[in-house]
Amino acid sequence: MIRSEPRPQFELPHTLLPPWVMDRTAPETLEAASFGSGAALSTLHLTLNNPFYGVPTQLLRDRLALEAAENCLKLQGRGDTKAEIRDAFYLTAPGNDMGPAGRMFLHWQTVAWIGFHKEFWANFFIDNAPILMKPFLDELFANPPDELIRGNPMNQAVAWASRILSEYPRQEDVALQAADIALCRALRVHHVVPLFALHIKRKDIRALLDGDRNAFAIAMHRAVAHGAQDATRLAHDLQRRAVRLKEVAPKLRSKGASQTIDLLICRDAILPSTNLSPTIEGSKVRMTSRSARRICDRLTELGVVRELTSRATFRMYGL
Amino acid sequence: MSLVTKKIRQGYGQELDRELEDLAAAFGDEARWREWMTRVEAVIFASGQVVPRETLQSLVGASANIDHLIADIQAELKGRPYELASVASGWMFRTRTEHADAIRKASEIASPGDNFTEMEMAVLCAIAYHQPIDRDGLAEIFGKDVSRDLISRLRHRKLIANGPRSPRPGAPHTFVTTEEFLVSFDLQSLRDLPQLDDVMDQAADEKQVIFI
């Protein structure tokens, strides 16, 4: 059996950011919080845009979407774990209903796949939201009030979230998606990276609804600082995993191996029986369900892919 | 063609007599017009949705004017608490607006829960709170198997639908609640379901048994 070469493992420090970004002893002021969010976003920017580094950004955004979905479900009083969300999402046959958890992930994933270069990108977001909100959101995108498009990117994002929450206080997911979209657009990033939803708590939303806009703004800054930190750490982790996955490619003899690897490098998880068989998603290469299972087992054996469910059947694989 | 299909062709499959020439010959045009009126009224009454003009035209003779038929029916319904109303694409029966208060009051009393057996209601609640959940999961909650008939009754009423497959041997379907469920229980979203803790407290106060 061919084994992958033992590689030196670089343990990343728990916090990649300098400690002064997350200084918890500092008083909770807007200045302190915005200093932190700015610093964290800048680190994330450097990580994602380093041409010599090559972070699998599509996979990163997909996984952040999963995190965001998990936390938004928590905001709604549901306790679905990541594993349950994945099950609901991936095991739903076409035409059936994903249920609340799967739908939440679907919505976040749709937002995380938005590219601003595409025409009508806003429709992907608006069509996600409950149908009742459509006229409101259409109007907001068509004629945004000044506060939503002026000022620094963070202020715009906070303004979007506050505007939507004051109208629809129970659509946190929609409000936070709009904040991510506004931030990424103002930062001139090409795609939406879910950041805010990872760390917003119920009490932050309640503060806004009670009229404390300042507390909400601070919470949003802190959320983005923590979110950007998570994203940076995840980006480094996924980059190393992607490099290792590409390195084992020559050892795979199976037809469709390179397409399988391409898919693994852009998806949070794959279910061999649907994503790889009968054809590998995103390509025209055919694969039997048996060879789909085998290639995933082989990659797990080589230690470059993780089996995510720890079940004997209905297994899912991801980096 | 088998004997059975031949019989069906002769009996049930027979083309509806639209023109009613025999009736007109025996009893006059008046009787035929009346028959057409009752036909149109019966079809609109039986339908839960708006009946479009084309459907009605296919029931009566080619020469019959639908608008005149409808006008005659409406004239007969004068003084009744319901009317034959013309809506966007056709016609439907509806109660007159002046009775709205009475009807609203009555529907408050007859809440949607009234049409359910206790077990149906309990299973529906369990699915609402624990969705997506399969029959095994329901059996764990109730301590016994939940009959397929009960599930299909709920499904037939469009309150539940098939959800993701459960990652167990045989990949059984799980069940999730539908939009229809939210509408019939007057909920905006699943978050409007009462918090289970509150329900438990209330039940303890009222000394009721709760299944969940």
What angle is formed at CA B191 by the lines to CA B186 and CA B195, rounded to 5 degrees? 100
Say which of A76, A102, A311 has its CB closest to residue B164: A102
Q: How many CB pairs under 8 A join A and B?
A: 59
B78 Rama sector, left if φ>0, alpha if ψ -120 to 50, beta otherwise: beta
Residue range B74-85: mean pLDDT, rounded: 88
Res B51: pLDDT: 87
What angle is formed at CA B194 by the lines to CA B189 and CA B200, rounded to 5 degrees? 160
Res A199: pLDDT: 92
Q: For A41-50, A306-315, B91-100, B108-117, which range has the lowest pLDDT when averaged over its residues?
A: B108-117
Res B15: pLDDT: 74
Q: Which residue has the higher pLDDT, B69 or B106?
A: B69
Q: Element (H or E) spanning A57, and its range? A: helix A57-75
How confident is residue A68, by pLDDT bands cut at 50, 70 and 90? very high
* CB-CB contact of B133 with B175 (8 Å): yes
- Bridge partners (DSSP) listed for residue B173: B165
Q: Do A92 and B163 touch (CB under 8 A)?
A: yes
* CB-CB contact of A91 with B165 (8 Å): yes
Is the pTM higher than 0.80? no
pLDDT surpassing 80 at residue A202: yes
pLDDT surpassing 90 at residue A180: yes
Res A126: pLDDT: 92
Give how far A138 is from chain B: nearest CA, Å: 21
Q: Does A20 touch chain B (CB under 8 A)?
A: no
Nearest CA in chain B to A94: B164
Q: Do A170 and B163 touch (CB under 8 A)?
A: no
Q: Do A87 and B131 touch (CB under 8 A)?
A: no
Q: Do B167 and A96 touch (CB under 8 A)?
A: no
Q: Which whole-number Å values give the CA distances from B24 to A75, B31, B32, B61, B179, in the listed order?
A: 71, 7, 5, 12, 50
Which alpha helices (H) appear in B52-184, and where do they start and end?
A: 53-57, 66-76, 100-109, 118-130, 135-142, 148-156, 179-184
Say which of B132, B189, B191 has its CB closest to residue A88: B132
Q: Do A96 and B163 touch (CB under 8 A)?
A: yes
* pLDDT tens track for A298-312: 999 998 999 998 888
Mean pLDDT of chain B: 80
Tokens coding A82: 């990541």
Distance of CA B176 to the CA centre of its chain: 20
Q: Which is nearest to A314 in space by CA: A150, A22, A3, A93?
A: A93
Q: Do A96 and B173 touch (CB under 8 A)?
A: yes
How confident is residue B108, by pLDDT bands cut at 50, 70 and 90? low
Instruction: Return the amino acid letter for B138.
Output: L
Tokens coding A14: 């728990």
Mean pLDDT of chain A: 88
Is 0.85 exceeded by the ipTM?
no
Contact residues, chain A, for B189 at CB < 8 Å: 130, 170
* CB-CB contact of B128 with B181 (8 Å): yes
Res B184: pLDDT: 79
DSSP symbols for A63-125: HHHHHHHHHHHHHTT----HHHHHHHHHTPPTTS--HHHHHHHHHHHHHHT-BTTSTTHHHHH
Q: How big, in percent rounded to 5, are the helix, strand and coil portions of chain A?
A: 60, 5, 35
* pLDDT tens track for A73-86: 999 888 899 999 99
Residue range A126-136: mean pLDDT, rounded: 86
Nearest CA in chain A to B165: A91
Say which of B165, B188, B190 has its CB closest to residue A100: B190
Residue range B17-28: mean pLDDT, rounded: 85
Res A234: pLDDT: 92
pLDDT surpassing 50 at residue A44: yes
Res B197: pLDDT: 67
Distance of CA B70 to the CA centre of its chain: 25
Q: For A42-46, A274-278, B113-117, which range has the lowest pLDDT when averaged over its residues?
A: B113-117
Give the three-class secondary structure for B92. Answer: strand
pLDDT surpassing 60 at residue A9: no
Q: Does A93 touch chain B (CB under 8 A)?
A: yes
Q: Do B191 and A314 touch (CB under 8 A)?
A: no
Res B202: pLDDT: 61
* pLDDT tens track for B148-176: 999 999 998 889 999 999 988 888 989 99
Rg (CA), chain A: 21
* pLDDT tens track for A257-270: 888 999 999 999 99
Give how far B110 is from chain A: nearest CA, Å: 28
Res B4: pLDDT: 46
Contact residues, chain B, for A309 at CB < 8 Å: 167
Say which of B131, B167, B189 has its CB closest to residue A99: B131
The percentage of residues in chain B with a pLDDT greater than 70, rounded to a whole number, is 81
Q: Does A314 touch chain B (CB under 8 A)?
A: yes
* pLDDT tens track for B174-191: 999 988 888 778 787 888
Contact residues, chain B, for A129 at CB < 8 Å: none
* pLDDT tens track for A145-176: 888 888 899 999 999 999 999 988 889 999 99
pLDDT surpassing 60 at residue B55: yes
Q: Which residue has the higher pLDDT, B197 or B17?
A: B17
Residue range B3-31: mean pLDDT, rounded: 70
Res A62: pLDDT: 94
